[in-house]
Amino acid sequence: MYSQYEFDKQLVKVCPTPRQLAVEEMEFYAFAHFTVNTFTDKEWGDGTEPESVFNPTELDADQWVDALKAAGIKGLILTCKHHDGFCLWPSAYTEHCVKNSPFRDGKGDVVREVADACAKGGLKFGVYLSPWDRNSAVYGQGKAYDDYFCNQLTELLTQYGEIFTVWFDGACGEGPNGKRQVYDFERYYALIRKLQPDAAIAICGPDIRWCGNEAGDTRESEWSVLPTAFMTPEEVAANSQQADTAEFREKTIDCMQRDLGSREFLQGAKGYRWYPSETDTSIRPGWFYHASEDERVRSAETLIDIWYRTVGGNSTLLLNIPPDRRGLFHENDVRNLREMGDYIRKTFAVNLAENATITADRDDGYHTADALKVDSYDDYYKPFDGENTAEITVKLDKVCDVTHVVIKEHIPMSQRVEAYIVEALLADGTWKEVGKGTTIGYKKIERFDAVATDTVRIRITDSRVCPILSFIGVY
């Protein structure tokens, strides 16, 4: 039987790969759901849509990129092929694609335009390629379809520059001949590793995990060290086969476990892996554009709340903004994205901790609390192994109205903190608790009503082996 300390030591050996770390450091990136559905007003096409329906007459990917950057978004994942099988690039392997559409007289390539606009605007670019294909005649025929799918993956991963993520949906319904395909995921993964070794494979893949719902719901304790047994591709597929209705989205909140990584939950696991959470949700009720939803775009306030709980709660945020029939982001979406970005930029413009004195009640003699001023993984704060509590004090140069504290763990050395409390010193000499929680992970944001203080204290009250932090910000 392991002691608690020995057990914790096993857990903190589990750390992110560079490709996982790269995605986590992006924090906030976007989806663009765009295909024939945009023109047929559907969420799922059935694969029989004529190519002629796809006709965005004012497509301007630079407009998308500008709107995304205004929100503070760092990358974009395009639905290059959704379940209907229509390809947004001129694939050599199917006629069901842009080359037979009126878009740019059949000479257009949406993937190219979006990838180029991202490169120009400094956004990373990722691809969504649906394994479920309701158009392909070879779907359901085993290797024949896997060959087709791998040929398409090869086109996307060799012709459009660097790809930061390949996003695999688990949906596995019937194809045009009524058959289902058993996806050869291992083969797809191997091909991605070969062609784009730095790309993270998300959702039905080993690098990034689905948070468990599409509503923007988050867990109080979001862990990145999980049992290896969790969420096989089959389990994900089982969850995604259901109709994508509002009721389904609500239900998925319950159908996925709330606790995926506490010490209790990990007892008895055969092995562990780093498997960080990504929260995918849409700015509108649907994933695709519907004019009827123009007045139902999530407000900046709602988006900011989701951002706080995801980016400030150890999950990345993947926000979908569906282009409209013109091939533009709708004005309402653009407005709310800008308001969201303006708020975040303003709120976190000045880090009061930069000119503060940061001290800790203990350190290991090498990794002092000074390191916490710089937001980078180059340096970190750490006490000795076995010291699983710590008290860090941020003494500001004057009394300020403080509303936010940001804490980041040094996740290259795993996720360790189990419990913490944030306090502010009041004028009467007493400490006021302004925040408390369990996990921290890559980033935790505590927000609270303004408190006038010149000293903020972070008490780590439980941690695996010892807490290792990379940054503290006070705003």
Rg of the chain over CA atoms, in angstroms? 23
As measured in angstroms, the least distance from the Cβ of 280 to ligand FUL is 5
- Listed residue (276, 122, 147) closest to 206, CA to CA: 276
Cα separation of the two ends of the chain = 45
As measured in angstroms, the least distance from the Cβ of 44 to ligand FUL is 6
Measured between alpha carbons, how far is 47 from 82 in angstroms, rounded to an integer? 10
How crowded is residue 396: how many other Cβ atoms within 10 Å of its Cβ?
A: 18
Q: Which of 27, 113, 169, 409 binds ligand FUL (CB under 6 A)?
A: 169
Q: Which of 109, 217, 278, 280 binds ligand FUL (CB under 6 A)?
A: 280
- Nearer residue to ligand FUL within complex by CB, 77 or 405: 77
- Nearer residue to ligand FUL within complex by CB, 31 or 160: 31
Pairing type for strands 225-227 and 209-210 reads unpaired
Task: Give the start-end residues of each E strand in 6-120.
Answer: 28-32, 75-81
Tokens encoding 353: 């901790």
As measured in angstroms, the least distance from the Cβ of 125 to ligand FUL is 17
Tokens encoding 6: 């020995």
Q: Which of residues 189-248 bind ligand FUL (CB under 6 A)?
A: 240, 244
Contact 322, 67 (CB under 8 A): no
- Nearer residue to ligand FUL within complex by CB, 213 or 414: 213
Q: Which of residues 394-433 bind ligand FUL (CB under 6 A)?
A: none
Site map (CB under 6 A) of ligand FUL, residues 35-74, x = contact: --------x-------------------------------
- Nearer residue to ligand FUL within complex by CB, 316 or 455: 316
Measured between alpha carbons, how far is 215 from 256 in angstroms, rounded to an integer? 13
Size of the site for ligand FUL (CB under 6 A): 7
As measured in angstroms, the least distance from the Cβ of 445 to ligand FUL is 25
165 belongs to the binding site for ligand FUL (CB under 6 A): no
Task: Give the start-end residues of each E strand in 163-276.
Answer: 165-168, 200-203, 209-210, 225-227, 272-274
**Which residues lie below 8 Å from residue 356, measured CB to CB, with a gap of 6+?**
373, 394, 395, 396, 397, 474
Q: Which of 32, 138, 171, 474 binds ligand FUL (CB under 6 A)?
A: 171
The residues that touch ligand FUL, with contacts defined as CB under 6 A, are: 43, 169, 171, 240, 244, 280, 287
